[in-house]
Structure 1
């Protein structure tokens, strides 16, 4: 079974379009400088508020999905403890048993004990080529 690495992705709303703060500035500017004789249409105002609410909910959903992906990677990694794995390292292909797991960074890292008794630390999931 081959395990591919999990990369963390984040979306920068500034690069992709308007953010929440920009939307509020535009809305407040429209309200401030509207013609008193021709005020903003209620339907148009409500549509803009609905867009604002939708934007905020989408941002919250994105944050929760990012957290879910991180949690899923951690859960999958826990299942490797005690399993025999093949890994690619700088010294070549090695086989050993996963003895511990570190969740300190963005991606889980395993510690491996080889059949020769050597301990290899900080092995990324992307280095695993097979799980037995």
Structure 2
């Protein structure tokens, strides 16, 4: 037996720091205090995100029956950049999660960043007068 046989396997590097971690935790706690009944969930998500200083990019209800959940994407302004997170609210009463897109396994996470970039380009082109509207 050699020394390398007794060493622990290499550890994965930690995920990149999420600058908006406090805002994400605050959002998760605030959503957890709300009654997220299906008929009011859309409004509750929007109001709660705004109350913690976030920007709701989009939200959607997916699934059927017990698998149904609300998903949303939120942006937090951090000094010179944006941080993005995914909100997951299961309709079966399971815990609410707010996860940084860099740590989320949901396909919605990559869509959140792409959508935010598209919205920023669209807003910039409108202010510069380069986008024609119908």
TM-score between the two structures when normalised by the length of structure 2: 0.23
For the pair shown, the structure with the greater C-alpha radius of gyration is 1
Q: Which has the higher contact order (CA 8 A, sep 6+)?
A: 1
